[in-house]
């Protein structure tokens, strides 16, 4: 059982690494096999095709570490920023994000957009919990807040070629008075 889990992790890690560095078109069963050292036949035993392999790897992005029930509004906002950014940086990467925007690989775009529905639901539920406990303003729209965080991250990368140290704190400081009750 441990060996199967290690193989599954190896496939997913290689898939995401290829996606981040080369975009979705670089993710093929052959490339994942070469990157991971796992035989193509083993990959095909676990995934029917490239789409299923991408879906399996990307689904790992939908389960961020949950917050404690007694989290403060500050905790919730920091968590949201961290996990929204993580989806881009440690998930699909900038190459995957560019392909998503341009629909350069419609198969990837369809898979990732479905994964985003699940991931966003988790982020939105954290915002809703903050609204329920009064730590986040009741009029905050979760989808718009998530879009603003991701958009700010992409804009920072586009403007400077990197995301500067301290950027997440600066974003937190900007959003805090607007979002928290």
Structural tokens at position 142: 């979760």
Highest CATH level, class, for 2-53: mainly alpha
| Res 1: pLDDT | 61
Q: CA-to-CA distance for 25 and 133, rounded, in angstroms? A: 44
CB 112 within 8 A of CB 92: yes
The three-class DSSP label of residue 136 is strand
Q: CA-to-CA distance for 152 and 167, rounded, in angstroms? A: 10
Q: From 127, 116, 121, select the one nearest 61 (Cα to Cα).
A: 116
End-to-end CA distance of the chain: 47
Q: CA-to-CA distance for 100 and 94, rounded, in angstroms? A: 10
| Res 62: pLDDT | 59
CA angle (64 as vertex; 103, 172 as ends), nearest 5: 85
| Res 169: pLDDT | 96
CB neighbourhood size of 35 (10 A): 18
Give the pLDDT of the chain (181 residues) as one tens digit per residue: 657 778 999 999 999 889 888 888 899 999 999 999 999 999 999 999 988 898 888 877 656 677 887 899 999 999 999 888 887 887 777 887 888 888 888 888 888 888 777 778 878 888 999 999 999 999 999 999 999 999 999 999 989 888 899 999 999 999 999 999 8
| Orientation of helix 2-22 relative to helix 93-102, angle to 10° | 60
The phi, psi pair for 93, rounded to 5°, reads 75, 175
| Res 63: pLDDT | 61
């Amino acid at each position: 059982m441990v060996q199967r889990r290690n193989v599954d992790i190896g496939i997913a890690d290689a898939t995401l690494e290829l996606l981040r560095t080369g975009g979705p078109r670089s993710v093929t069963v052959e490339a994942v096999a070469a990157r991971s050292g796992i035989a193509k036949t083993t990959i095909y035993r676990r995934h029917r095709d490239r789409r299923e392999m991408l879906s399996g790897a990307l689904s790992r992005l939908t389960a961020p570490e949950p917050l404690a029930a007694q989290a403060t509004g500050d905790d919730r906002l920091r968590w949201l920023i961290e996990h929204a950014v993580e989806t881009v940086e440690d998930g699909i990467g900038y190459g995957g994000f560019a392909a998503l925007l341009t629909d350069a690989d419609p198969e990837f775009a369809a898979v990732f957009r479905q994964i985003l529905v699940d991931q966003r639901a988790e982020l939105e539920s954290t915002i809703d919990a903050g609204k329920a406990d009064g730590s986040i303003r009741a009029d905050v729209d979760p989808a718009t807040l998530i879009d603003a965080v991701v958009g700010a991250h992409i804009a920072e990368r586009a403007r400077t070629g990197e995301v500067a140290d301290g950027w997440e704190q600066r974003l937190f400081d900007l959003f805090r008075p607007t979002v928290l009750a």
